[in-house]
A = this chain, B = another copy of it.
Amino acid sequence: MSLTYAILSALVGAPSSGYDLAKRFNPSVEGSVGFFWNASFQQIYRELNRLEEKEWLQAKSVQQENRPDKRIYSITPVGEQQLCQWISELEEMTPIKDELLVKLFVGHLVPRQTLLSKLENHRQQHQQRLAIYQQIKHQYFQEPQVLSEALKFQYMTLLRGIHHETGWLSWCDEIMPLLK
């Protein structure tokens, strides 16, 4: 259900085409909803059509000369009202669901090197993702206390990404010695 609201949220203050949205739903784009939600372009276009039909979004066709024409979606008052209501609802903690941990749980069934390689690989990926987040932090959020309201909230989600990645790194560092 949340893709609905993730799209609505992404469009608040930033009307976008499906194509642009799809890019923003990718985790390595700055200031992006990709920090905390992701979806394929097919999912996004489908959801945009549903939301337009419900009139939570409205679309404006834009003729372009240098590229194919596109449709820019923006949130309607009804959509914003629905979004606000959803925000106010109670939500549960998101449970962990992670393939790597399933694999590790029965790690004794495979050679040690298999898992060690996986962990080294994951560690590196988390390190890279963290570097992206840190770069965004330094570029756009040098002085958090002077940010606009809207940006302050985006900064908080970025911080969540940073804590997420540092948590993975410290875990890797703690368990890799146990594996050797």
User: Footprint of B on A, CB under 8 Å?
Assistant: 2, 5-6, 9, 12, 27, 33-38, 80, 83-84, 86-88, 91, 93-110, 114, 118, 122, 125-126, 129, 144, 149-150, 152-157, 159-161, 163-164, 166-168, 170-171, 174-175, 178-179
- A87-B114, A175-B156 given as contacts; is B97 within 8 A of A38 (CB)? yes
Cα A102 to Cα B160 with chains together (Å): 12
Q: Chain A interface secondary structure, helix, strand, loop or mixed?
A: helix
| Beta-carbon contact of A161 and B110 below 8 Å | no
In the complex, 14 of the A-B residue pairs with CB atoms within 8 angstroms, ordered by the A residue number, are A2-B97, A5-B102, A36-B98, A37-B98, A37-B101, A86-B103, A87-B109, A88-B114, A91-B103, A94-B99, A96-B164, A144-B178, A152-B178, A163-B170
